Structure 1
Amino acid sequence: MNNTTAAPTSDFPTEGRIAAVDYGTVRIGIAICDPDRILASPLEVHPVTQPDAGGYEADEKYFCKLAIEERVSAWVVGLPIHCDGGESDKSAEARKFAIWLKRVTQLPTRLFDERYTTVAANQKIRQSKTTRKKTKKRIDAIAAQVLLESFLEACRYRGELAGNDLEDVSSTGESLID
């Protein structure tokens, strides 16, 4: 991966484990790759702390511990984008979460278009012949895996860092497709 063409403000490392987050208001799917960034695997699904109990602010210990235990060097947070390239309230929520995640873990964080990750995750699950109960529990982690695989492939294909720096992203509703 050639980091020289990335935005000058990017502090995203060129090696080490990346964790991908499929942010949701009920569950957060998490996937992680190996240090060589070849294989991505679903890790777990974390239940979101409800707003009256502090929201994701209450989850600070969880994400800091996860980063240490899994030796995470950076995060990729899925950014929900409509098929036409527009954004929604969910996009703003994911952006806010990504900024918070970077602040609390002190790890570089990028946003990456997550269109079709849930569709691809559902296809993977159907092919695996997993029970319906297990499917419901794992779908968000598998969506995070698809997100991470897409991010890693985009970086390899382009020969540069994919996605968007948090500082590069505006909330104007413009397309974030690079």
Structure 2
Amino acid sequence: MDTVLAFDFGLKRIGVAVGNTVIRQAQPLAVIRAATNDGKFAEIGELIRQWQPAVCVVGLPRHPDGVEHEMSVRCRRFANQLHGRFDVATVLVDERYSSAVISHQRGEAIDDRAAAIILQQYFDDESHS
């Protein structure tokens, strides 16, 4: 059984979800709100030490037509930093519709739920079986 962490990267907040390769069910875990890049990576590092993931999944935003935009580049950079700083495999998952799924929900802390949707997409994709 391998643990998987997923991240919904944002400039102000990063949503985090957790799951494993046996149950294949994503659960919201945390919302990282650190003001600095170093602070964000310190919190992420603590989660990685605690959960020891085999892989980290990062949501890759795209326009509805599939074209990447500015946040796509930032998310790719974030995934590369996760890999480089923590020596953990990273996978990018199309997150085009994750926000739409939870947009009807109220409250600010939806980032962890968006990360859970991204992780569930990863689990549901047969290529990751």
| CA–CA separation in structure 2 for the residues paired with 1:104 and 1:49 | 19
Counting matched residue pairs gives 129
Give the aligned CA root-mean-square deviation in angstroms.
1.8
CA contact (8 A) 2:33 2:40 kept: no
1:94 aligns with 2:75: yes
Letter aligned with residue 112 of structure 1 = V
Q: Is the contact between residue 81 and residue 91 of structure 1 (CA under 8 Å) also seen in structure 2? A: yes
Could you tell me which amino acid in structure 1 is paired with residue 108 of structure 2? K
Q: How far did residue 35 of structure 1 move? A: 4.7
State how 1:1-178 maps to structure 2 within 5 Å. Answer: 15-50=1-36, 56-123=37-104, 125=105, 132=106, 135-137=107-109, 139-155=110-126, 160-161=127-128
Given that 1:41 and 1:145 are in contact with CA atoms closer than 8 Å, whether structure 2 keeps it comes out as yes
* Alignment check: 8 A CA contact 2:5 2:18 kept: yes
Deviation at 1:48, TM superposition (A): 4.1
Per the TM alignment, residue 121 of structure 1 is displaced from its structure 2 partner at its CA by 2.2
Would the aligned equivalents of 1:28 and 1:48 in 2 still touch at CA under 8 Å? no
Give how far 1:49 is off: 2.6
TM (norm. structure 2) is 0.90
Shift of 1:38: 1.8
Pairwise CA distance, 1:58: 3.9
Deviations 1:23-75 (A, max 9, x none): 0000000000035142110001001434xxxxx24433222211111232210
Aligned residue number for residue 5 of structure 1: none
Native 8 Å contact 2:57 2:119 kept in 1: yes
Task: Give the ranges of 4+ consecutive aligned residues of structure 1 lying more than 6 Å apart after TM superposition.
Answer: none
CA contact (8 A) 1:29 1:45 kept: yes
Q: Residue 64 of structure 2 aligns to a residue in which SS?
A: coil
Sequence identity (%)? 29
Which 5+ residue runs of structure 2 have no aligned equivalent? none
